[in-house]
Amino acid sequence: MEFTTQKIAENLWALDQKGVRSFFLVGQDNAVLVDTCFGGDILSVCRTLTDNPITLITTHSDGDHCGCDAQFTEQYMHPAEFARYESRGKGACKAKPISEGDVFNVGEYTLEVVVIPGHTPGSIALLDRQHKFLISGDTVQSGCIFMHGDGRDLPSFRESIIKLDAMRREGLFDTVYPAHGDAIVPADILEDHLALADEVLSGTAVPAGPAPEWFPDTVKTYRRGRAQMYYAVK
């Protein structure tokens, strides 16, 4: 499976594969990879950019974010993902636990863990306060968020969106780097995510269309502004 490499900021690359995206940050002596896409040889792609040792940080345990994990020896993940990771046939989880406020330094970047359950139980984002960006995994994106299936929890997702939107309003970040959809998204998309979650949870949302055929018929596509999700109203 092929990757395309796009430099989106100094020492920061987006590695795209079939609709999913990892981020790679390179410092003087180390490097950080955020997620590993579906599979293939992401390590070789990283090695075209640096020979530094690589720390892997996993935003959550969905298969499109963990496909090349075996190529890395040092991995971090929120412990609320461990059981789910192992249940998805990835074998024993070798990741070390991370929690709210943990910090990873890589070159000019300081990545701070923000815990945002909902899309999955231990989803995390990474905040750089100085450069005012958030690497968001699947939780904030212009693509369609999967909120149907194992581990999804829409009320928790809504709480996480409220938490992130408060941080945005404080001025902690203005740009989002998501794993799907556009690689660079203005942070005020959070307003659309919150409005959509409110509408869907209150039962007032009208489906914008069906979901892809691999979902049960009850799952629909919901849209509000730039935000979209697949969800089955109970």
Of 60-68, 71-79, 90-98, 202-210: span binding Zn ion (CB under 5 A): 60-68
Please identify the residue of the shown chain whose CB is closest to the bound Zn ion.
138
- Residue closer to Zn ion by CB (options 64, 81) is 64
The nearest distance, CB 149 to Zn ion, in angstroms, is: 12
Nearer to Zn ion, 50 or 157 (CB): 157
Task: Name the one range near Zn ion by CB under 5 A: 64-72, 159-167, 169-177, 224-232.
Answer: 64-72
Q: 144, 178 in Cβ contact below 8 A?
A: no
- Sign of CA pseudo-dihedral 9, 31, 88, 200: negative
C-alpha 146/C-alpha 6 separation (Å) is 25
**Minimum distance, C-beta of residue 146 to Zn ion, in the bound complex (Å):** 7
**Cα distance between the two ends of the chain:** 37
Q: What are phi and psi of 34, to 5 degrees?
A: -105, 105
Among 35, 69, 81, 138, binds Zn ion (CB under 5 A): 138
Task: Output 140 or 196, the one with its CB closest to Zn ion.
Answer: 140
- Rounded to a whole number of angstroms, the minimum distance from the CB of residue 96 to Zn ion is 22
**Coil/strand/helix, residue 117:** coil
Q: Give me the least distance between CB of 137 and Zn ion, in Å please.
A: 7
Residue 81 found at the interface with Zn ion (CB under 5 A): no
CA distances from 118 to 24, 63, 103, 132, 227 (A): 25, 17, 22, 23, 16
Q: Which of 64, 69, 102, 128 binds Zn ion (CB under 5 A)?
A: 64
Q: Count CB-CB contacts under 10 A for residue 89.
A: 7
Please say whether the dihedral angle defined by the alpha carbons of residues 60, 63, 67 and 72, taken in this order, is positive or negative.
positive
Binding site for Zn ion (CB under 5 A): 62, 64, 138
